[in-house]
Chains A and B, each alone.
Chain A
Amino acid sequence: MAILYPIQYELNPKSQERGMRWATLSLKNIGNEGLTLLDVRLNSLDAYSITVHGTGSYVPSLGPKEERILPFQMQANATGRVYVSLDGFKNGEPFHWESPDMRLKVGQELAELVSLFALTQPYPPAGEQIKCEATLLGLVSSRGLRLEFWAETPSADFEELGTVETKDLSGGEAVRYAAEVTPEEEGLYTIHAYLYHGTRRIGHKVDKVYVKKT
């Protein structure tokens, strides 16, 4: 079980088939003080991939060394990330705790979009071309996946940077693809990479770049 003081926690299973599924969250209070009136939630960082049903669980008290196992029902559509939050009281004072996010694998995808990085110095100047590089990892043999690059500008335009049909990939093979953007506005650009198998989105990554005026 992972530890983030004063909670020891574990979510199981870490891999699910698609569909309506159950996961169990084990929580243990490893601190010296009791926790009370706990609102326990499993939060999704992309509700399209994983939707956790219900509004959470309630634990009236979790004393020192005490452990609870809580079930959560979810609609699992694609691999995603979730995290746990606890809101309650410790020694009569409001208490908030949250775990780091945890990857929950759903189904067997053909490939994984591992990362997206804008290859630039911090705070690049407007007018300078920036290369954005996505890394894919084949999980089984695949062909003809579609990788799209997009940029959200500070003025909220959403511009397509490029679309690539990926080469044939074998399991374990890593490959990099890139697109370019030349920001013209000062402010925050959000770069997106989307990986599709047919019409199914199997990966999405973002990177952010703050562009300064020259």
Chain B
Amino acid sequence: MARRHSIEYEVSPRSVEAGVRWLTLKLKNLGAEDLTMLEVRLNSLDTQSLNVFGTGSYLSALKAGEEKEVFFQVSAHTTGSVYVTLDGQKKDRPWRWESPGISVSVGEDVAELVSLFALTEPYPILGEEITCEAIVRGLAPSRNLVLEFWAQTPSGEFRSLAKEGMGFLGADEEARHIFEITPEEEGIYILHAYLYDGARRIGHQTEYLSMTI
């Protein structure tokens, strides 16, 4: 089980088929103090991919050294991430805890969008062309994947940067795709890479750029 501060936690299974499924959350209080009146939530980091039903669970107490299981029903569409939050009391004072993101794999996609990086120094300057790189890893042989690159500008415009068919990609093969952007506005740009298998979006990564004059 993973650990953060005084809580050990585990979500299982980490791989499910698409559809309505159950996930089990194991929690263990490793601290010396009892935790009480706990609201336990499993929060999705993209509810299109994974949608957790209900408003959470309630544990009246998780005593020092105690372990409990909590069950959550989810609608699983594509691979995504969830994280756990606990809101309650410790020694009669408000207490809060949260886990980092926990990836849950859904179904068997043919490829994975591994990363999107802007290949630049921190705080690049305006007007400079920036190369960005997305890495796609094949999980099964495929030939019809499409990769799209978009930019959200500081003024709110959403601009298409490139759209590429990926051709044949074998299992375990890694493909690097490059695109360029020349930011012209000061502020924060959000770059997006979307990976599509037909009309199904199977990957999405973002990268932030802070542009200064």
- Known contacts A96-B199, A100-B150, A190-B100, A119 near B43 by CB under 8 Å: no
CB-CB under 8 A from B51, the residues of chain A are 55
CB-CB under 8 A from B210, the residues of chain A are 115, 117, 135
Chain B interface size, under 10 / 10 to 19 / 20 to 34 / 35 or more = 35 or more
* B41 contacts partner chain A, Cβ-Cβ < 8 Å: yes
- Known contacts A96-B200, A100-B150, A117-B208, A47 near B122 by CB under 8 Å: no
CB-CB under 8 A from A117, the residues of chain B are 122-123, 208, 210
CB-CB under 8 A from A51, the residues of chain B are 55
Tell me which of A28-36, A63-71, A164-172, A198-206 binds B. Answer: A198-206
* A60 contacts partner chain B, Cβ-Cβ < 8 Å: no
A30 to B200, CA, bound (A): 22
Q: A100 contacts which of B3, B95, B120, B192 (Cβ < 8 Å)?
A: B192
CB-CB under 8 A from A210, the residues of chain B are 115, 117
- Known contacts A55-B75, A94-B199, A199-B96, A100 near B44 by CB under 8 Å: no
| A52 contacts B47, C-beta separation under 8 Å | yes
CB-CB under 8 A from A192, the residues of chain B are 100
| B45 contacts A46, C-beta separation under 8 Å | yes
Proximity bits, A21-33, B CB within 8 Å = 1, else 0: 0000000000000
* A142 contacts partner chain B, Cβ-Cβ < 8 Å: no
A58 to B178, CA, bound (A): 38
A106 to B87, CA, bound (A): 19
| A4 contacts B96, C-beta separation under 8 Å | no
Q: Chain B's nearest CB lies how many Å from the CB of A24?
A: 19
Which residues 119-134 of B sit at the A interface, judged by CB distance below 8 A?
A: 119-123, 133
* B69 contacts partner chain A, Cβ-Cβ < 8 Å: no
* A120 contacts partner chain B, Cβ-Cβ < 8 Å: yes
Proximity bits, B76-116, A CB within 8 Å = 1, else 0: 00000001010100000011101111000000000000110
Q: Chain A's nearest CB lies how many Å from the CB of B137?
A: 12
| A43 contacts B208, C-beta separation under 8 Å | no
Residue of A nearest to B188 (CB): A115
Q: B4 contacts which of A121, A158, A190, A208 (Cβ < 8 Å)?
A: A158
Central interface residue in A96, A117, A199, by most chain B CB within 10 Å: A199
* A173 contacts partner chain B, Cβ-Cβ < 8 Å: no
Sample (5) of A-B pairs whose CB atoms are under 8 Å apart = A47-B47, A47-B52, A48-B98, A96-B199, A207-B208
- Known contacts A45-B45, A45-B46, A115-B210, A96 near B201 by CB under 8 Å: yes
Q: Which 9 A-B pairs have the closest CB atoms?
A: A94-B199, A48-B43, A43-B48, A199-B96, A119-B122, A96-B199, A122-B119, A47-B43, A100-B158
* B152 contacts partner chain A, Cβ-Cβ < 8 Å: yes
CB-CB under 8 A from B43, the residues of chain A are 46-48
- Known contacts A94-B198, A201-B98, A43 near B158 by CB under 8 Å: no
Proximity bits, A142-174, B CB within 8 Å = 1, else 0: 000000001010001010000000000000000
A16 to B118, CA, bound (A): 33
CB-CB under 8 A from B117, the residues of chain A are 122-123, 208, 210
Q: Chain B's nearest CB lies how many Å from the CB of A90?
A: 9
* B156 contacts partner chain A, Cβ-Cβ < 8 Å: yes
CB-CB under 8 A from B32, the residues of chain A are none
* B213 contacts partner chain A, Cβ-Cβ < 8 Å: no
| A122 contacts B122, C-beta separation under 8 Å | no
Q: Chain B's nearest CB lies how many Å from the CB of A206?
A: 8
| B96 contacts A115, C-beta separation under 8 Å | no
Q: Chain B's nearest CB lies how many Å from the CB of A204?
A: 9
Q: A150 contacts which of B100, B119, B150, B208 (Cβ < 8 Å)?
A: B100
